[in-house]
Amino acid sequence: MNLKDLLKSIKNEFQKYNLDSPCLEAEIIISEVLEIERYKIYVENIEISESKYKKIKELVEKRKKRIPLQYLIKKVHFYDCEFKIEKGVFIPRPETELLVEKTIDIYRQYFYPKKVKILDIGTGIGNISIALAKNIENCEVIGVDISKKSLRIAYENLILNKLEKKVKFLLSDIYENIDDKFELIVSNPPYIKEEQFEKLPEEVKKEPKKALIAGKDGLKIIKKILKDVSYYLKKNGFLIIEIGNNQIKEIKKIIPKGLYLLEVKKDLSSFDRIMVFKKI
């Protein structure tokens, strides 16, 4: 079978299983296994070895069981970096790139060229910490998480992106093991309500529950972050935090003293997604 026919047959199978982007996913699986760029599927006549063909088929079967594509190809792109990923950790989302973009803007507007310390709460595979370290010239980043597996992968990603000198990862339940103060605190915490779990897409349900769910109201972790954030922020420091759909009203009611809401950024679907607080 030539590459174009293989692509077509996988695309048709994925269509039957109602995947959102059947053609793109088929292209990605083929190009990853054959280690070629995607466009080459259309322009080159590459021989597929028996073992590579078996590997492609294996991934297609797994994808049909709704295992996220990123877990299958063990790779994810976020902001301007490549990251390793594995089953058992949260998959970075494109909307979180807004948080990175906003944090870089704040650095340039308020701190540049001064050195800043940044704390990333719930760092996952280290994607926010690493993207910030890569794009903020003068910074030191600490990323914390309660998942040992995430931290192990975050460390591998740090080496991959050659940023060991600027970033450290630490096992910590929010601020538990933190004894420093920061110019910038950032977080994309878990923010989904417990009752919503069953209604999530099958792919999302394959991600760790602790990375997604935050108690009955979805605000358990956000409340904890806000409660003590003033202590961990330096004067004139900022908290930049991602929030869930329609949570803004509740969060506005629990803004602690000494902190004010500077800005809210919407995502591409017009949901309030990023809140920016400043310590007075």
Ligand X SMILES: C[S@@+](CC[C@H](N)C(=O)[O-])C[C@H]1O[C@@H](n2cnc3c(N)ncnc32)[C@H](O)[C@@H]1O
Residues near ligand X (CB under 6 A): 90, 92, 96, 121-124, 127-128, 144-147, 150, 173-174, 188-190, 210-211, 221
3-class DSSP string for 99-157: HHHHHHHHHHHHHCCCCEEEEEECCCCCHHHHHHHHHCCCEEEEEEECCHHHHHHHHHH
Shortest spacing between CB 26 and ligand X, in angstroms: 26
Alpha-helix runs per DSSP H in 21-126 = 22-34, 40-43, 50-64, 69-73, 97-106
Token digits for 240? 């930049």
Give the nearer residue to ligand X in terms of CB position, either 31 or 157: 157
Residue 239 carries which side chain, given as an amino acid letter? L
Shortest spacing between CB 220 and ligand X, in angstroms: 9
Residue 117 pairs in a beta bridge with 140
Shortest spacing between CB 112 and ligand X, in angstroms: 24
Give the nearer residue to ligand X in terms of CB position, either 31 or 127: 127
Cβ-contact 100, 132 below 8 angstroms:
yes
| Other beta carbons within 10 Å of 188 | 26
Shortest spacing between CB 199 and ligand X, in angstroms: 17
- Enumerate residues 6+ apart whose C-beta is below 8 A from 51: none
Give the nearer residue to ligand X in terms of CB position, either 52 or 93: 93
Shortest spacing between CB 212 and ligand X, in angstroms: 6
Give the nearer residue to ligand X in terms of CB position, either 19 or 144: 144
Token digits for 197? 């779990």
Give the nearer residue to ligand X in terms of CB position, either 29 or 121: 121
Give the nearer residue to ligand X in terms of CB position, either 164 or 176: 176
Q: Nearest 5°: phi and psi at 75?
A: -150, 145
Give the nearer residue to ligand X in terms of CB position, either 70 or 96: 96
Using CA atoms, how far apart are residues 66 and 61, in angstroms rounded to an integer?
9
Give the nearer residue to ligand X in terms of CB position, either 7 or 241: 241
- How would DSSP label each residue in 169-197? EEE-STTTT----EEEEEE----B-GGGG
Q: Nearest 5°: phi and psi at 142?
A: -120, 125
